[in-house]
């Protein structure tokens, strides 16, 4: 009957219910024995077979998730913990905490995520198979004579799918490559490349004007030079009288040396 209803749908329609829809329109009516809208949710004990086999038997074309109504077995006769073992295949292991499902401010159910391991619990091998288990919130469901008081006695919805890590890594690399290309395009718009042609000479900046050979730099005057001595011949120099004059022979010799050095520096600048 279910397959006939699904065949009436036009191509392209997929079964993609939200968490609220799974609880409100499928799980709650199932527990209360009410009429359920036809959908691809099968009554199967998911703990009697491996997720590979379940996916192969119940997968619909074009969809990646399979949905099941199932009941859980008790791990211990008087306990409230469910038995997550799949005999002969492995076991389901819960990860994280139960996430509440909120419908207009009311918590109507919870969602738990589990991962399938091959082997025994002491040394199982982790697989890519994921199961999301949906349970109702008993405190907010209408109590009827047919509603069990224990969660383990209630139906749950299990959504099983395979998480393909290679596809996730490939999509992440693709997004990174697209972002790098986008950043490169933005940089080209912000910093345009100047168009330099041979016919357009470069103009020097005002802070560094070129030096012209015809205009030698003017040396800076640090201190005024001492007065010059009158020209005298060597015969007219009287050392005794020269010692009594007001001129300092050491300052004269230093001035001559400084002047000679400055003239040498000017010549070097003009030749360069």
pTM for this predicted structure: 0.57
Q: What confidence score (pLDDT) does residue 110 get? A: 96
Q: Tell me where in the chain the CATH 2.170.150.80 domain(s) lie.
A: 2-165
Q: What confidence score (pLDDT) does residue 148 get? A: 53
Of the candidates 118, 18, 5, the one whose C-alpha atom is nearest the C-alpha of residue 67 is: 18
Query: What confidence tens digit (pLDDT) does each residue in 17-63 have?
Result: 999 999 999 999 999 888 887 678 999 999 999 999 999 999 888 88
Query: What confidence tens digit (pLDDT) does each residue in 74-95 have?
Result: 887 777 788 899 988 999 999 9
In the structure, what pLDDT confidence band is assigned to residue 146 with cuts at 50, 70 and 90? low
Query: What confidence tens digit (pLDDT) does each residue in 213-267 have?
Result: 555 556 555 656 666 555 555 555 455 454 544 545 555 556 556 666 666 665 5
Convert 41-55 to b/e letters by CB count within 10 Å (16 or more is b).
beebebbebbbeebb
- Average pLDDT (101-130) is 93
Largest CA distance in the chain: 145
Query: What confidence tens digit (pLDDT) does each residue in 183-199 have?
Result: 555 555 555 555 555 55
Of the candidates 65, 87, 75, the one whose C-alpha atom is nearest the C-alpha of residue 132 is: 65
Among 69-73, 122-126, 138-142, 206-210, the least confident range? 206-210
In the structure, what pLDDT confidence band is assigned to residue 155 with cuts at 50, 70 and 90? very high
CA distances, 50 to each of 14, 112, 119 (Å): 24, 19, 11
Q: How far apart are CA 209 and CA 204, in angstroms?
A: 7
Q: What confidence score (pLDDT) does residue 240 get? A: 46
Among 7-11, 57-61, 145-149, 152-156, the least confident range? 145-149
**Higher model confidence: residue 102 or residue 252?**
102
Among 98-102, 146-150, 184-188, 241-245, the least confident range? 241-245
φ, ψ at 10 (rounded to 5°) = -70, 160
Q: What confidence score (pLDDT) does residue 242 get? A: 44
Q: How far apart are CA 136 and CA 153, in angstroms?
A: 12
- 2-165, superfamily in CATH? NAC domain (2.170.150.80)
Q: What confidence score (pLDDT) does residue 23 get? A: 95
Assess whether pLDDT exceeds 90 at residue 130: yes
In the structure, what pLDDT confidence band is assigned to residue 98 with cuts at 50, 70 and 90? very high
């Amino acid at each position: 009957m279910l397959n006939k209803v699904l065949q009436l749908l036009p191509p392209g329609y997929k079964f993609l219910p939200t968490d609220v829809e799974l609880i409100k329109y499928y799980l709650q009516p199932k527990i209360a024995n009410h009429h359920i809208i036809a959908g691809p949710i099968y009554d199967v004990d998911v703990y009697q077979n491996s997720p590979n086999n379940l996916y192969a038997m119940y997968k619909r074309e074009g969809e990646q998730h399979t949905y099941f109504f199932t009941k859980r077995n008790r791990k211990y006769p008087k306990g409230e913990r469910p038995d997550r073992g799949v005999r002969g295949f492995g076991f389901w292991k819960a990860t994280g905490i139960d996430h509440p499902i909120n419908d207009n401010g009311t918590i109507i159910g919870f969602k738990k995520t589990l991962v399938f391991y091959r082997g025994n619990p002491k040394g199982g091998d982790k697989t890519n198979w994921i199961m999301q288990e949906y349970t109702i919130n008993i405190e907010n469901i209408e109590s009827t004579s047919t509603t069990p008081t224990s969660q383990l006695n209630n139906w749950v919805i299990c959504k099983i799918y395979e998480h393909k890590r290679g596809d996730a890594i490939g999509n992440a690399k693709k997004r990174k490559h697209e972002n790098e290309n986008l950043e490169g395009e933005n940089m080209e718009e912000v910093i345009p490349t100047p168009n330099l042609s041979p016919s357009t000479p470069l103009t020097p900046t005002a802070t560094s004007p070129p030096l012209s050979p015809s205009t030698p730099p003017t040396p800076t005057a640090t201190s005024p030079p001492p007065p010059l001595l009158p020209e005298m011949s060597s015969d007219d120099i009287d050392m005794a009288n020269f010692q009594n004059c007001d001129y300092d022979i050491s300052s004269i010799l230093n001035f001559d040396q400084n002047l000679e050095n400055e003239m040498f520096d000017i010549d070097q600048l003009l030749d360069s």
